[in-house]
Amino acid sequence: MCRSGRSGNKEDPVQDKVREAIVEELQRQAKENPDLKVEVKDDALTVQGKVDLDALSFVVVGAVAGGP
C-alpha cells in the first residue's frame, strides 16, 4: 500500500502503480532482511541498508507492463 499523498492520482495511474510497487517491494525485502530499514512518510521514502536491485527492478517493470 502506498502511503504517499499522491496515492490514487487519477492523472497518472502508471506512476501510482510504480510508486506502490517500489514501496511494497522494499517493505517485503525489509521483512526478510532486518538490516534493511524502510520508512515512508508523506511523499518521502527513506531506505537504509542493502536493497536487492534485481528484485526491485522486476517489480517496477511489472508495474509498468501491467503485471501482477
What pLDDT score does 68 carry?
A: 57
CA–CA distance, 34 with 14 (Å, rounded to integer): 30
The answer as to whether 57 is a domain residue is yes
What pLDDT score does 25 carry?
A: 98
The answer as to whether 25 is a domain residue is yes
Report the number of distinct structural domains present in the chain: 1
DSSP-derived letter for residue 49 is S
Which parts of the chain sit beneath pLDDT 50? 1-5
The answer as to whether 4 is a domain residue is no
What pLDDT score does 67 carry?
A: 61
Residues spanned by the domain of 61: 13-65
**Closest among 59, 43, 49 to 9, alpha carbons compared:** 43
What pLDDT score does 33 carry?
A: 97
